[in-house]
Amino acid sequence: MSSLVQHPGHEGERLQRVSDQLPCREVQAGTLLSLMGQPHQYSYPSIFIYGHRSSGKSHVMHVLLKELELPHAPVSCVECVSVALLFEQVLLSFFGADAASLLPRSPSLSDFVRVYRNQCSQCPAEQTRYIVMEKAELLRDAEANLLPALLRLQELVEDNVTVILLSEIVWDKFRPNTGCFEPLLLHFPDYSKGELQQILSHDRHPSYSAEFYSSYINILLGVFYSVCRDLRELRHLAALNFSKFCEPVVEGKVKETDTHKLWRNVEPHLKKAMRTVYLREVSSLQWEQMQQMEEKESGALRGTNTH
Amino acid sequence: MSKRKMENIRLPVGECISQVQEMLRERLCRQKLPDRPEGVEAQHKHLLELLKRTAVHGESNSVLIVGPRGAGKTMLLKCVLRDLQEEKEAHKNLLQVHLNGLLQTDDRIALKEITRQLHLENAVGDKVFGSFAENLAFLLEALKKGDRSSSRPALFVLDEFDLFAHHKNQTLLYNLLDVSQSAQAPIAVVGLTCRLVSPASAAHAAVNAGDVTAFSFTQDVLELLEKRVKSRFSHRQIHLLSNPTFAQYLLRVRTQLSLPGHFPDGEFAVEWNAGVEALCEDKSAEDALRRHFNSSKDFRSMHMLLMLCLSRVSAAKPAITAADLLEASRLSFADAKANMLHGLSILELCLVIAMKHLNDVYEGQPFNLQMVHNEFKKFLQRKSNSMYKFEQPVILKAFEHLQQLEFIRPVDSSLAKTQKEYQLMRLMLDHSQIMEALQKYPQCPTDVKQWAMSAFG
């Protein structure tokens, strides 16, 4: 498996930037790049990428496509409530607004393929075009012919286009009864605890040392890891609770390196967060207000045991 | 072919690999047509004869090409059409209309598409037709050759033929087949379908699995046709039920991966082909290919496997090795659900184990969150670890996450009737999947594992 920073057809500098933006996802990005091949070559007609939420599927795709400046049409199946929106989005991204306006009022798949073919005979693809569809599980609820047609779009429009589906549901639940063109399946594994630690530590606050923030993340993971391994949730919780963690240091009561005391201070707070902010019982704004009120209270009731 | 003698050109490795990638991707991803279709010579000849009769002699025909997905139906048709173009008369005369059941979802759309492909939009203009038949007759009339004596022959290709049978009244099929039976205009109707066996007779076919002949397959797709349509169909069928032996499969793999003689760098091509041959003879590679052969014999899954191998070829490693094939095979056979189970949090995993116990005890009866929580509490009581003592809302969130991943599904889809905690669900995982996932789960606590393996929760 060639390393991420060496792929024919792309500049090394750009690949380096890609690599910097994708910590712990170099292997998956490398696999994707090697499947995509050089921009002018054909790629497999459809690729299905599955993995847990926040495992980096959209992030890796978007970073790759943007940094390497490949023609792509990002489609969110949540937003495209009707197929017309989906078709417009694709035509808009590849051929511009004029092409999108060529679609009739309630376009059928036949209209879409026809317009695409016409446009593509005027501007054929010099590089592989990618259609990236997020939350692809919603396609199952659309018309029965949409998913099979999208999977073989390359053949239907006779153009160098690849459809990439991103989902957290496994492919077995997508397959129609009479079968369809099977896409290439790619799995984005979940982050391990070490990888989560590494990625979360990237968000460190500039005025504190990296070790200090690392110890904070360690404590956070200690409380939340058995319940939640979702990177986005953990980042959110880390950002919200950091000020509470720093409180004793700011007040001068504890040194930065005294992890035990810091842990004792913040752990009950994190447990409380699990019952409230994690469950979205309170919003993050309310949570911050609650924290400020507590600080005022503990300041007012000096000498009394509050917790 | 170039008359120039093949010079001893040597290109740099990177350039060679680039060429290899391009060529092989054309074959594997773009389904480039082979010079000669393998293993289907009889079918090729049959179809070519049929279409020649239409194109050159003006005879009307209808035929159905039947075969499972990935068997090469479209490939066969395209090869025949390509060979047909070499006949001068056919090339001049034959009009082609390609329809696809996925795109042309009803007859109105199909008719518009036919009009467009025959370039008769202007001839039709704003005319309004009384019926489908009138419209079609008009189109065919408009195709008359210069001397007005006879119509030009037209070929109608209907991909996903079975989907056309679901249109209202099967109007399109009826009219096309009607024209092919009467002497109105010379047309050939070629349908491609993968519907071989109806679900009811699937068991029947399974019994006859080893001994497949054209007779023992119930022609399900014909059963879909109305009587009047079926009677107009010529019942001519071309079957692509190739049952290659493993040796033939290996040969196909080798041909797909080999470079042709006109590759720019002759020496590199020879080295590459030697490497491919060595690969096919390697024992571990052969075992991997045998696994794939046993699971599915069609072209497409082979192409997918080879594509995964090809993606591992680079200038630094300019050949496909057995290791590549093994890795590609591993990726193909990976259990998706097991992969997803690996990423669950401990709490979610415990809930899954609790559900498994409920399934074991109550023999697959549906459960709700409350029952699962109680089962989980039994585990907590025994072990006296407060480590997993979570409050009900946190457990509910974990439960909902499992629902989002479709590991559990509500028994009925009535969403808002009952409270979330009391809605009945079913587990979509089976016993062995869960136990296997536990083995692979990173740093799974031993007490959780023991709980899973114990018989009575």
**Which site among A7, A121, A140, A170 would you substitute to test the B interface, given the most B Cβ atoms closer than 10 Å to its Cβ?**
A170
Mean of the pLDDT values across residues B208-235? 67
DSSP string, A123-170: S--SS-EEEEEESGGGGGGS-TTHHHHHHTHHHHHTSSEEEEEEESS-
Question: What single letter denotes the amino acid at residue B67?
Answer: G
> What are the CA-CA distances from residue B298 to residues A64, B30, B242 (Å)?
33, 16, 9
Instruction: Assign B237 to helix, strand or coil.
Output: strand
Which segments within B67-150 are labelled E, that is strand?
A: 95-100
Residues 6+ apart with CB under 8 A from A195: A24
Q: Do B312 and A281 touch (CB under 8 A)?
A: no
**pLDDT of amino acid B209:** 42
Residues A162 and A296 grouped into a single domain:
no
B336/chain A closest Cα distance in angstroms: 6
Residues A166 and A203 grouped into a single domain:
no
**pLDDT of amino acid A163:** 96
Q: Is B52 a domain residue?
A: yes
A274/chain B closest Cα distance in angstroms: 8
Q: Is A249 a domain residue?
A: yes
Q: Is A202 a domain residue?
A: yes
A45 band by pLDDT with thresholds 50, 70 and 90: very high
Residues B212 and B322 grouped into a single domain:
no
In Å, how far from its chain's centre is CA B57? 36
B317/chain A closest Cα distance in angstroms: 9
Mean of the pLDDT values across residues A136-142? 93
Query: What global pTM score does this model have?
Result: 0.90
Question: Which tens digit of pLDDT belongs to each residue from B237-254?
Answer: 888 877 788 998 899 899
pLDDT higher than 60, residue B280: yes
Residues B229 and B80 grouped into a single domain:
yes
User: Mean pLDDT highest for which of A128-142, A230-244, B158-172, B415-429?
Assistant: A128-142
A296/chain B closest Cα distance in angstroms: 29
Residues A154 and A65 grouped into a single domain:
yes
Residues A183 and A62 grouped into a single domain:
yes
B19/chain A closest Cα distance in angstroms: 10
Mean of the pLDDT values across residues B285-303? 89
Residues 6+ apart with CB under 8 A from B375: B354, B355, B357, B358, B457
Closest CA to A183 of B304, B405, B33: B304
Q: Residue A254 sits in which domain range? A: 193-300
Question: Which tens digit of pLDDT belongs to each residue from B58-83?
Answer: 889 999 999 888 888 898 999 999 98
Cβ-based neighbour number of residue B202 at 10 Å: 12
Q: Do A114 and B116 touch (CB under 8 A)?
A: yes
**pLDDT of amino acid B305:** 93
CATH code: domain of residue A46:
3.40.50.300
B182 band by pLDDT with thresholds 50, 70 and 90: confident
**Residues of chain A neighbouring B30 (CB-CB closer than 8 A):** 42, 154
**pLDDT of amino acid B36:** 78
Closest CA to A167 of A46, A250, A307, A288: A46
Q: Do A226 and B342 touch (CB under 8 A)?
A: no
Q: Do B339 and A226 touch (CB under 8 A)?
A: no
Which residue among B30, B308, B390 sits closest to A42, beta carbon to beta carbon?
B30
Question: Which tens digit of pLDDT belongs to each residue from B295-350?
Answer: 988 888 899 999 999 999 988 888 899 999 999 999 999 899 999 999 999 999 99
Which residue among A34, A114, A275 sits closest to B391, beta carbon to beta carbon?
A275
**Residues of chain A neighbouring B391 (CB-CB closer than 8 A):** 275
B25/chain A closest Cα distance in angstroms: 6
Question: Which tens digit of pLDDT belongs to each residue from A103-118?
Answer: 998 899 999 999 999 9
Domain count for chain A, please give it.
Answer: 2
The per-residue b/e assignment along B232-253, b for 16 or more CB within 10 angstroms, e otherwise, is bbeeebbbbebeeeeeebbebb
Which residue among B104, B195, B347 sits closest to A227, beta carbon to beta carbon?
B347
Contact B117, B100 (CB under 8 A): no
* Percent of chain A scoring above 90 in pLDDT: 54
Write out the two tokens for B86.
Answer: 């070499």
Question: Which tens digit of pLDDT belongs to each residue from B46-60?
Answer: 999 999 888 888 889
Q: Do A279 and B195 touch (CB under 8 A)?
A: no
Q: Is B34 a domain residue?
A: no
Residues B139 and B228 grouped into a single domain:
yes
Phi, psi torsion values for B372, nearest 5 degrees = -65, -40
Q: Do B343 and A52 touch (CB under 8 A)?
A: yes
Q: Residue B269 sits in which domain range? A: 2-27+245-333
Question: Which tens digit of pLDDT belongs to each residue from A51-94?
Answer: 999 999 999 999 999 999 999 999 999 999 999 999 999 999 99
**pLDDT of amino acid A281:** 79
The pLDDT mean for chain A works out to 88
Mean of the pLDDT values across residues A216-222? 91
Q: Do B406 and A169 touch (CB under 8 A)?
A: yes
B386 band by pLDDT with thresholds 50, 70 and 90: low
CATH code: domain of residue B396:
1.10.10.10
**Which site among A141, A226, A237 would you substitute to test the B interface, given the most B Cβ atoms closer than 10 Å to its Cβ?**
A226
